[in-house]
Structure 1
Amino acid sequence: MIRRICISFFRWKSRSNPKGEAPIYCRLTQDKIRRQFSTGHYVLAKEWDSEKQRVRSKFRQRRIDLINEDLDMIYNKLYNLESKLIVEGADNIVEAVYNIYMDKDTSVNFFIQLFQKRYEVASKMEGIKFAKYTLWKFRHIMEQTQEYIKWRYGQEDIPLLKIDTSFVLGFEEYLLLEKKLAPITVNKVLQRVKQIIQYGIKCNYIKVDPFVEYKPLKTEKELVFLTEEELNMLENYQFAQEKLGKVRDLYLFSVYTGLAYHEAFTLQRKHIIKGFDKELWINMKRGKTGKAFEVPLLPKAIEIIKKYGELGNDDSYILPRMSNQKMNSYLKEIADIIGIKKRLTHHTARKTFATTILLYNDIPIEIVSSLLGHSSIAITQKHYAKVVNKKVSMCMEELKNKLMQKGS
């Protein structure tokens, strides 16, 4: 008769932290052989049910539920691993189960390790396939993922085989509740994590996609832009501080060109060309997609270029340099001074260009898409659907009035 190993969990009281929380350990025993390891979870004495070896059910916080789910997952994986080793006729089952589970098997692939490798590959393509800011976001999300692993498992890294639906849902709640991130930001983090998982699946490191039944959080991103009235207020206001007037001008340059922050502040003399119409145009690539685009320089944009100096050599920057963080800080101050009740950031200049400058002046959506450098018109329609609908409504109202006049 086969004797199975005993898999148990206990709260190691003597290792309590200053908050009175003690670690939960898993112990494997058979005959006189014993191996144990930390699950990475800490609980108070009143939360632990030593008889059931689980957190007490009356403590219904989501984090407590996650702990019990994790203990169940650990138990099931150990049990299944033991069953496999018994069938294979392995010796010293306790030692074998412990070594494989604790990843002392060098064939095991780790999640953060794979994340790091993909980041290193992407970094080599900076400026070719990926923008510097995109790589920064990549690394930031990798660090957020590692923080979650430390928080939940008490480890620096975990095997890819341990990543399941519970991991994904737990990460989502961690980002929402612990990190206080907005739903749209949580979706972006998990989207990047999903890309790494899918790569692991292609490489046969992981068999089951933990995202297969996961649905991103529902979000409705507010489109923030300046109306014609607010834009006039901004353009005509006389600032007491010269630096605020300068920030206003830098912002207005993007209002009349549609350039995102990275594009506006990397704009050089070589990007200004004479077009087929003998007028000045901006010709460059979008930092986000790498797609080439051209934008005609409107009179107000040319005025701002002249105000801050004539065009120099081909590699000279057109606008004075300023960090995005500092720019947005000053824009917040400007909005408060003028009385604009919106969260003003540099990116709202691009939105204002698309809406107040283009769409509200009857520029067709396909031309707007081209000027914004979007990879497809579908992206433009998705982002500016409400504005387009409003414009359609206005046009239909005009048509209705015309038809009524003809009929009278």
Structure 2
Amino acid sequence: MKYPTMRFVFDRKKVATKTHKGLVQIEVLSEGKRKWIGTGVKVYSDQWNDRKKIINSVEMIQLNQCLDEQLRVIQNWINELISKKEVFDFDKLDRFLRYTNKSESFIDFVERRIEERGDITESTKASHRTFAASLREFDRIIYFSDLTKANITLYDDWLHAKGYSQPTIYNYHKRNKRYIHEAIKFDLLKNDPYKGERFSRGKHAIRKYLTAEELKKVKDAQIYSETICRVRDLFIFQAYTGISYADLAKFNFKRDVQKRGNKYVILDIRLKTEENYFIVLLSPAMEILKKYDYVLPIISNQQYNLRLKIVADYAGLDRNLTVHMSRHTFATMCLNNGVKMENVSKMLGHTNVRTTQQYAKVLNAEVEKDFEMLERILS
């Protein structure tokens, strides 16, 4: 009974140079058939030696240990087959690798788990992919052995140097911790490098919204492009419903709206938070729906934001419009007109009232500005 042989292969695709890294793989050879297993280790062309493996790198000891460990895990499994006199085949090897994940680097594990998760929306997956991309760019937290307190601190320093806001940095650490905890559950990692570490949440920037006068300018703007007019109408619909873009994109009048007396109400579940939300359709929102025969002209989030800049020009605003501003405008409009915060929270589908209180802070900030202006006038 024949069993496979293994060796390390560097840069099989011939892409490595002194400035571009190539991948180290494990080649498994059995009865004329080959399989290549990615190790997650990448080095430059002048950092590889077929006999010594990785050379000319400050991390060569650590990386060579990582390679040896991956080879050892597979060899131990093959030795177990030999002791049990079981036949080797590549399907068995694939199953073994799938359940052990020992050949994966930490960043590969993170990227795989992001795609496997069914408990988050596509937009949330996109934000997690952005976090994973930041780890790749940082390039010091690639392997499980890289997960040290020192590297976590260096990652935090690097994020600050890149100019990220503190809330964004906090969220990146939060996501990193999540996948570290998953790795521990899968027995891929023993210790949590974040244990005992604390990172500030930071303060979120004041939420931007339109005043009643600015919203009227957007509504009344003379727009001669049908495409831009449709974008303006979507913004107005959101400004009078508070519906997020993700929920707008899946909005279906027949499915999501009920008639109660002489009113129409949206009863649905937010994609982002999975919280129920309840909105009475005000007349400006109903006018938009009637205009499009109750089927809104949805476009991509990116195109929506780009074209809102043109809407702002038509309306004579001295600042850009964004999709989020419509939702913030709705919240502040409700609070300004005496709607209870708990009810606004229900309309927006927030998981707790604390999120809604961010809008109240905006109003307080505006009140302070008005008092400062009054002070200047009276003094």
Is the TM value for this pair above 0.5? yes
**C-alpha displacement at 1:248, in angstroms?**
1.1
Query: How does the TM-score come out when normalised to structure 1?
Result: 0.64
Out of 258, 275, 279, the residue aligned to residue 242 of structure 2 is 258
**C-alpha displacement at 1:193, in angstroms?**
1.4
* 8 Å contact from structure 1 (residues 291, 375) kept in 2: yes
Correspondences of 1:126-137 after superposition (within 5 Å): 129-137=119-127
Do residues 230 (structure 1) and 214 (structure 2) align? yes
- Match of 1:238, SS state, is coil
Do residues 333 (structure 1) and 316 (structure 2) align? no
Aligned to 1:200: 183
Aligned to 1:288: 272
Aligned to 1:56: none
Correspondences of 1:267-282 after superposition (within 5 Å): 267-268=251-252, 269-275=254-260, 277-282=261-266
Out of 118, 136, 145, the residue aligned to residue 113 of structure 2 is 118
Q: Which amino acid aligns with 1:364?
A: K
* 8 Å contact from structure 2 (residues 115, 125) kept in 1: no
* 8 Å contact from structure 2 (residues 183, 189) kept in 1: yes
Residues in 2 aligned to 1:39 and 1:174: alpha-carbon distance in whole angstroms: 24
Residues in 1 aligned to 2:327 and 2:246: alpha-carbon distance in whole angstroms: 12
* 8 Å contact from structure 1 (residues 23, 38) kept in 2: no
Out of 72, 75, 80, the residue aligned to residue 105 of structure 1 is 72
Do residues 145 (structure 1) and 135 (structure 2) align? yes
Aligned to 1:389: 364
Question: Does the C-alpha gap of structure 1 residues 188 and 24 become closer, same or farther in structure 2, counting only changes over 3 Å?
Answer: farther
* 8 Å contact from structure 2 (residues 206, 362) kept in 1: no
**C-alpha displacement at 1:320, in angstroms?**
0.7
Aligned to 1:371: 347
Question: Does the C-alpha gap of structure 1 residues 205 and 98 become closer, same or farther in structure 2, counting only changes over 3 Å?
Answer: closer
Residues in 2 aligned to 1:141 and 1:308: alpha-carbon distance in whole angstroms: 38
* 8 Å contact from structure 1 (residues 35, 98) kept in 2: no
- Stretches of structure 2 that go unaligned for 5 or more consecutive residues are 1-16, 21-43, 74-99, 370-379
**C-alpha displacement at 1:391, in angstroms?**
8.6
Do residues 37 (structure 1) and 57 (structure 2) align? no
- Match of 2:202, SS state, is coil
**C-alpha displacement at 1:176, in angstroms?**
4.5
Out of 329, 334, 337, the residue aligned to residue 352 of structure 1 is 329
Residues in 2 aligned to 1:270 and 1:99: alpha-carbon distance in whole angstroms: 54
Residues in 1 aligned to 2:65 and 2:173: alpha-carbon distance in whole angstroms: 31
**C-alpha displacement at 1:264, in angstroms?**
1.4
* 8 Å contact from structure 2 (residues 221, 314) kept in 1: no
Q: Which amino acid aligns with 2:123?
A: Y
Residues in 2 aligned to 1:280 and 1:217: alpha-carbon distance in whole angstroms: 40
Aligned to 1:170: 154
Q: Which amino acid aligns with 2:188?
A: Y
* 8 Å contact from structure 2 (residues 239, 326) kept in 1: yes
* 8 Å contact from structure 1 (residues 251, 349) kept in 2: yes
Residues in 1 aligned to 2:18 and 2:125: alpha-carbon distance in whole angstroms: 40
* 8 Å contact from structure 1 (residues 224, 348) kept in 2: yes
- Match of 2:320, SS state, is coil
1:238-277: CA deviation from partner (whole Å, max 9, x where unpaired) = 12323222211110000000001111121102111113x4
- Match of 2:298, SS state, is coil
**C-alpha displacement at 1:390, in angstroms?**
5.6
1:88-122: CA deviation from partner (whole Å, max 9, x where unpaired) = xxxxxxxxx84776643327563123214422431
Report the identity percentage. Answer: 28
Residues in 2 aligned to 1:119 and 1:368: alpha-carbon distance in whole angstroms: 32
Residues in 2 aligned to 1:244 and 1:254: alpha-carbon distance in whole angstroms: 16
Do residues 188 (structure 1) and 171 (structure 2) align? yes
Out of 230, 233, 238, the residue aligned to residue 246 of structure 1 is 230
Question: Does the C-alpha gap of structure 1 residues 167 and 341 become closer, same or farther in structure 2, counting only changes over 3 Å?
Answer: farther
Which structure has the larger Rg? Answer: 1
* 8 Å contact from structure 2 (residues 246, 271) kept in 1: yes
* 8 Å contact from structure 1 (residues 164, 210) kept in 2: yes
Residues in 2 aligned to 1:136 and 1:388: alpha-carbon distance in whole angstroms: 31
* 8 Å contact from structure 1 (residues 165, 214) kept in 2: no
* 8 Å contact from structure 2 (residues 207, 362) kept in 1: no
Query: How does the TM-score come out when normalised to structure 2?
Result: 0.68
CA RMSD in angstroms, aligned pairs only: 3.4
1:23-44: CA deviation from partner (whole Å, max 9, x where unpaired) = 99799xxxxxx9462475xxxx
**Higher deviation after alignment, 265-274 or 103-112:** 103-112
* 8 Å contact from structure 1 (residues 224, 342) kept in 2: no
* 8 Å contact from structure 1 (residues 233, 338) kept in 2: yes
* 8 Å contact from structure 2 (residues 223, 314) kept in 1: no
Residues in 1 aligned to 2:299 and 2:237: alpha-carbon distance in whole angstroms: 14
* 8 Å contact from structure 1 (residues 99, 105) kept in 2: no
* 8 Å contact from structure 1 (residues 198, 209) kept in 2: yes
**C-alpha displacement at 1:141, in angstroms?**
2.7
* 8 Å contact from structure 1 (residues 273, 282) kept in 2: yes
Residues in 1 aligned to 2:135 and 2:66: alpha-carbon distance in whole angstroms: 25
- Match of 1:184, SS state, is helix
**C-alpha displacement at 1:361, in angstroms?**
0.4
**C-alpha displacement at 1:290, in angstroms?**
1.3
- Match of 1:301, SS state, is helix
- Stretches of structure 1 that go unaligned for 5 or more consecutive residues are 1-14, 28-33, 41-70, 79-96, 312-317, 395-408
**C-alpha displacement at 1:204, in angstroms?**
4.2
Q: Which amino acid aligns with 2:206?
A: E
